[in-house]
Structures are given as structure tokens and as C-alpha cells.
């Protein structure tokens, strides 16, 4: 027991190496997840790889929008101001957002310039402090959440989304493994706006659409399927709070006795062209369902029975439209469109990613060999150099175990962090060895501890400097630099608290002449 207490740092290193082996090689061992997993595991380990080492696509696209700041609007006037601005700017109401909490007004379309937004606000009696390109942090955060939901609801499992800052501009970074750019863009280029209209005759006898529901008013959305007649569609349930008002509005619009509708969705590219008493579902402004109301359903509207069980099926003209409708209803609409015209993308084939993976392994081996030769050349003492190299390798192994446990996907920037950890680790071990060996024989354990503490203060100060320098990179959303900083910081912490003290235990047994 005394030997264990005396060498507890070395014992701790051995235990952690064993745990790292479990995290790396035992199936199902990793229990953590960063939420950034973007690829399948390696066939032989639990390591995860990003698109640079597994293949896939990454797109960085800015949100479309301009923001007026310092607009002092009360909470009671938010809705009225949004409606007035939408009318004066001739844009859809969903393309404008007025926020009393942040004193901002956002417009999500390329059809409005900064000067036009400023003029419209001034015409309403407001004096914005500034009007800039881009959206607010709140909108960008909501956009990330919505894109994540779209990816999770679609076939793009394993995708990751984050907001980063590039060139002073907020950008949404979307990564999808084993997918090409066209497939990813096809899912995200549409905002997923679903609306339900009732088309009926107004007082002048013309057919006029009235929006009666939107996608936020559904409590449950089913899966795309076909009904008994072979028609594709999606079954939905209206939220209890909206069901009664929906029934009343349908009665007021003349659907209380049902209706017949001879129009078809595939015959119309806009809701304005539809003539007839029809229910219309639009997806991104395009009709995907046009149909009448059965007399029995109209009776339910009048009696109020519909509000007790507000479930119906939105049929579409094709299964593809039904799946797109389901995706948009479940994921929700994007608060702002993404500007794919001004985006940058990276697409790597699996073959090229495998080559990067092999090259990374070769570079890592070369780094270890180079360090080993330099260390041996300096000391010419295998009993000093060999434990130094083994300790440095154990540090890398512990770091691999950590990334396998948290399921952190490795990219090329992380490999650079591993190589940096090897260099800084051996550098610190050289400081320890020099401080202890260059001042003559170490006669007692007390002398060794005195010299080791002196060296450790230098190592600790260097580690603190590295962590402070790297910390901003982990929180500033700088893309690949964040991964490099995280790996470097974790490697430094492992070295300071585990591997450097363990090397001290090894060196003490090698150099102390009497204990």
C-alpha cells in the first residue's frame, strides 16, 4: 500500500489508460455526446470523424435579412407596426419581425434595402439608431434550432448545425456526412411555410382566399401515408386553442354545409388563381392540396363537434409533396431564409477523406519518431528518453479516449491539435528532466521533490498561458479553430494533472540514489 501511495500519480495514469481503452474499443462504451456528431464510428474504434476524415458536405451560409436597431416600440404596438411595415414595404408578413425585448425590427427578404426599411420606420414615426445587414442573435439561434429539426426529421441523420462568425458576419454552418451539396441545399433552401386557406366568394362575388390556419396551430402531425383511396397525405390535429375559432370561421365563410370544389392543386401555381369554394393547403406559397368540404364535416363545424376531435388529413397530389409537407409541419418554418448564393461549401468524397485520414496517421507517426530522435540525441540515456516518449504517447492516448467518450468528431484541425499536444508535452518533460539532471546527482527524494516542484512551476505557468491564449477561440464560434483550441486545452490539462506528475514518479525511481 505504501508503494501505491508513493506512486499514486503513476497508478492514476495506468488506470486512465485502461479506461481510455474501454472508451476506444468496447462497443457502446461512450456515454457522452457533444451534439456535433456528424459521421459514423470507425469500424474498429469508437472514434467519430467529421466530413474532412469521412466525407460529406459543409455549407456556411449567411441568413438573409437586415436589422434596424434601437427602435423603441412597445409590446402593444408590435403587431400593428409589423402589419404596417409589411404593407408599406409590400412584403409577406412572415418576412418581418418586430421585437420589443431587443428594440429591433428585422426584414427577411432581399427585396428590401436598408434605406427602404429606414424610410418605412420613419414614416411610422420611429427613428432607428442604425440599420445593418444580418439578423439578430435571437433569430440566428432560432434558425439553428429549426435547421437542426429539419435535418433530424429528414434522412440526413448525423448532421450538425452551429452559428459562427466569419469576417464579422454571422453565418450558419451546416454539416452533413455522406451527402452532396445539391441534396443538402434542396432540403434547406425552402423555409417550410405551411398555410391553410379557405377560398370563398366575397360580397362582390369574386373568389377570395382567407387564411384560416398556419403550421403553428397544429398539436400533432402524423407521417406521410396514403388513404383508402390511394391518395397521399398527412394527418394533422389542430391545437385545442385554435380548433373552436377555426370551426367558427369556416361557418362564417360559408362552409357550414360543406362545399364542392372542382379545382386541382396541380392545375394552379398560386392560390389567387383558384375559383371555387375550396380548402387549400400551400407549402412555400405553392398549392399542394385543393379540395372541397364534405357535408358531414361542415355539419361538425356548425355543431361544434369538430372542436372536440379536430383531426383531418391534408391530401397532396404526390407522395413527395406529402413528405415535404410532413417535414415542414414537424420541423417548423425557418425564421429567415439562407443565402446560398453567397455561401461557401466544402464537399469531400469518402475516398479523399480516407486519404486525409491515412495522411494524418502518417504525420502523427512521423511527429512521434522525430520527437523520439531529438530526445534521445539530447540525453543519450535510453532510461531517461524512453519513459519520456512513452509518457508523451500515453498523453495522446488519453486524449483519444476522451474524444471517443464524448463522441467528439475529429477533423483535420483536431489532428493539428494532437500534434501540438505531442510537441508541448515533450517540451514540458524536457524541462522536468533538465531541471532534475543538469544540477548534479539526486541524492535523496527530498532533493528530487525540490527540483521537480521548481520545474513544475515553470510547466504550470506555460500551461496557464496556453489555456488563456486558446480559451477565446473556444467561445468565439470561429469554426475549425475552435476544435483545434479545445483539443489543445484538454491535452494541456491532461498533461499538467496526469502525465507530467506520472513522469516525475518514473524519473524519481531512475535517478534517486537513496530514498
* DSSP per residue, 239-282: -HHHHHHHHHHHHHTT-TT-B-----GGG-SSGGG--SSEEEEE
Query: 53 or 310, which is more confident?
Result: 310
Q: How far apart are CA 377 and CA 382, in angstroms?
A: 10
DSSP strand pairing (344-348 vs 56-61): antiparallel
pLDDT for res 67: 94
Would you say 271 and 282 are in contact if contact means Cβ atoms under 8 Å apart? yes
Query: 159 or 45, which is more confident?
Result: 45
Name residues whose C-beta falls within 8 Å of residue 424's C-beta, 6 or more positions apart in sequence: 462, 466, 488, 491, 492, 495
Would you say 58 and 180 are in contact if contact means Cβ atoms under 8 Å apart? no
Range from 247-261, 373-387, 488-502 carrying the lowest mean pLDDT: 373-387
pLDDT for res 155: 59
* Whether pLDDT at 64 is above 90: yes
Q: How confident is the model at residue 479 (pLDDT cuts 50, 70, 90)?
A: low
Give exposure, 180-212, as e/b (b: 16+ Cβ within 10 Å): ebeebbebbebbbbbbbbbbbeeeeeebebeeb
How much is the average pLDDT of 36-47? 60
Q: How confident is the model at residue 36 (pLDDT cuts 50, 70, 90)?
A: very low
Would you say 295 and 257 are in contact if contact means Cβ atoms under 8 Å apart? yes
What DSSP letter does each residue of 8-54 carry, written as one string? HHHHHHHHHHHHHHHHHHSTT------S---SPBPSSSS-BB-HHHH
How much is the average pLDDT of 163-179? 81
Query: 459 or 482, which is more confident?
Result: 459
pLDDT for res 490: 92
pLDDT for res 105: 93
* Whether pLDDT at 297 is above 80: yes
* Whether pLDDT at 442 is above 70: no
How much is the average pLDDT of 484-498? 90
Would you say 240 and 219 are in contact if contact means Cβ atoms under 8 Å apart? yes
**Distance between terminal CA atoms of the chain?**
17
Q: How confident is the model at residue 478 (pLDDT cuts 50, 70, 90)?
A: low
pLDDT for res 493: 92
Query: What's the pLDDT tens digit per position in 93-138?
Result: 889 999 988 999 999 999 999 999 999 999 999 989 899 999 999 9
* Mean pLDDT (the chain, rounded): 83
Give exposure, 60-76, as e/b (b: 16+ Cβ within 10 Å): bbbbbbbbbeebebeee
Would you say 474 and 373 are in contact if contact means Cβ atoms under 8 Å apart? no
Query: What's the pLDDT tens digit per position in 389-415?
Result: 888 889 889 999 998 888 888 888 888
Range from 178-187, 259-268, 323-332, 345-354 carrying the lowest mean pLDDT: 345-354
Would you say 350 and 179 are in contact if contact means Cβ atoms under 8 Å apart? no
The phi-psi region of residue 137 (left if phi > 0; otherwise alpha if psi is between -120 and 50; otherwise beta) is alpha
Q: How far apart are CA 401 and CA 48, in angstroms?
A: 11
pLDDT for res 43: 59
Would you say 142 and 335 are in contact if contact means Cβ atoms under 8 Å apart? yes
pLDDT for res 157: 55
Would you say 151 and 175 are in contact if contact means Cβ atoms under 8 Å apart? no
* Whether pLDDT at 35 is above 70: no
* Whether pLDDT at 477 is above 70: no
- Cell output for 364: 502523427
- Cell output for 443: 541524492
- Cell output for 36: 456535433
Query: What's the pLDDT tens digit per position in 135-153?
Result: 999 999 999 988 888 887 7
Q: How far apart are CA 25 and CA 404, in angstroms?
A: 9
Of 132-146, 202-216, 260-274, 420-434, highest mean pLDDT: 132-146
Amino acid at each position: 500500500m505504501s508503494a501505491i501511495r508513493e506512486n499514486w500519480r503513476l497508478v492514476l495514469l495506468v488506470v486512465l489508460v485502461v479506461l481510455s481503452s474501454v472508451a476506444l474499443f468496447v462497443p457502446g462504451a461512450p456515454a457522452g455526446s457533444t451534439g456535433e456528431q456528424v459521421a459514423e464510428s470507425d469500424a474498429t474504434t469508437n472514434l467519430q470523424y467529421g466530413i474532412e476524415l469521412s466525407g460529406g458536405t459543409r455549407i456556411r451560409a449567411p441568413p438573409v435579412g437586415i436589422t434596424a436597431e434601437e427602435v423603441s416600440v412597445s409590446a402593444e404596438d408590435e403587431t400593428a407596426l409589423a402589419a404596417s411595415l409589411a404593407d408599406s414595404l409590400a412584403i409577406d408578413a412572415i418576412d418581418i419581425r418586430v421585437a420589443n425585448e431587443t428594440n429591433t425590427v428585422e426584414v427577411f427578404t432581399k427585396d428590401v434595402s436598408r434605406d427602404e426599411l429606414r424610410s418605412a420606420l420613419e414614416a411610422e414615426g420611429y427613428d432607428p439608431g442604425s440599420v445593418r445587414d444580418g439578423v439578430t442573435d435571437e433569430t440566428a439561434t432560432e434558425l439553428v434550432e429549426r435547421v437542426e429539426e429539419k435535418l433530424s426529421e429528414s434522412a440526413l441523420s448525423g448532421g450538425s448545425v452551429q452559428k459562427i462568425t466569419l469576417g464579422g458576419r454571422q453565418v450558419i454552418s451546416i454539416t452533413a456526412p455522406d451527402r452532396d451539396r445539391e441534396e443538402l441545399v434542396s432540403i434547406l433552401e425552402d423555409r417550410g411555410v405551411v398555410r391553410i386557406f379557405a377560398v370563398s366568394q366575397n360580397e362582390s362575388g369574386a373568389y377570395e382566399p382567407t387564411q384560416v390556419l398556419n403550421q403553428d396551430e397544429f398539436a400533432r402531425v402524423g407521417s406521410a401515408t396514403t388513404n383508402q383511396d390511394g391518395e397521399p397525405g398527412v394527418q394533422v390535429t389542430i391545437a385545442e386553442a385554435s380548433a373552436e375559432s377555426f370551426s367558427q370561421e369556416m361557418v362564417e365563410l360559408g362552409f357550414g354545409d360543406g362545399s364542392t370544389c372542382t379545382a386541382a392543386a396541380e392545375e394552379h401555381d398560386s392560390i389567387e388563381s383558384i375559383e371555387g369554394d375550396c380548402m387549400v393547403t400551400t407549402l412555400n406559397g405553392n398549392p399542394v392540396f385543393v379540395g372541397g368540404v364534405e357535408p358531414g364535416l361542415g355539419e361538425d363545424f356548425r355543431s361544434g363537434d369538430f372542436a372536440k376531435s379536430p383531426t383531418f388529413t391534408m391530401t397532396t397530389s404526390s407522395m413527395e409533396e406529402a413528405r415535404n409537407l410532413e417535414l415542414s409541419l414537424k420541423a417548423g418554418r425557418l425564421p429567415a431564409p439562407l443565402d446560398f448564393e453567397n455561401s461557401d461549401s466544402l464537399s469531400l468524397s469518402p475516398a479523399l477523406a480516407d486519404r486525409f485520414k491515412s495522411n494524418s496517421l502518417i504525420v502523427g507517426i512521423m511527429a512521434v519518431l522525430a520527437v523520439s530522435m531529438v530526445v534521445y540525441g539530447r540525453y543519450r540515456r535510453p532510461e531517461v528518453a524512453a519513459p519520456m516518449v512513452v509518457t508523451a504517447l500515453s498523453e495522446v492516448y488519453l486524449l483519444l479516449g476522451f474524444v471517443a467518450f464524448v463522441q467528439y468528431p475529429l477533423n483535420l484541425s483536431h489532428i493539428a491539435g494532437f500534434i501540438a499536444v505531442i510537441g508541448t508535452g515533450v517540451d514540458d518533460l524536457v524541462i522536468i528532466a533538465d531541471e532534475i539532471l543538469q544540477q548534479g546527482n539526486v541524492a535523496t527524494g527530498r532533493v528530487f521533490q525540490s527540483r521537480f516542484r521548481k520545474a513544475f512551476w515553470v510547466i504550470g505557468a506555460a500551461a496557464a498561458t496556453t489555456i488563456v491564449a486558446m480559451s477565446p477561440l473556444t467561445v468565439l464560434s470561429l469554426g475549425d479553430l475552435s476544435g483545434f483550441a479545445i483539443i489543445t486545452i484538454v491535452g494541456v490539462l491532461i498533461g499538467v494533472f496526469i502525465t507530467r506528475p506520472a513522469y516525475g514518479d518514473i524519473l524519481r525511481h531512475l535517478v534517486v540514489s537513496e530514498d
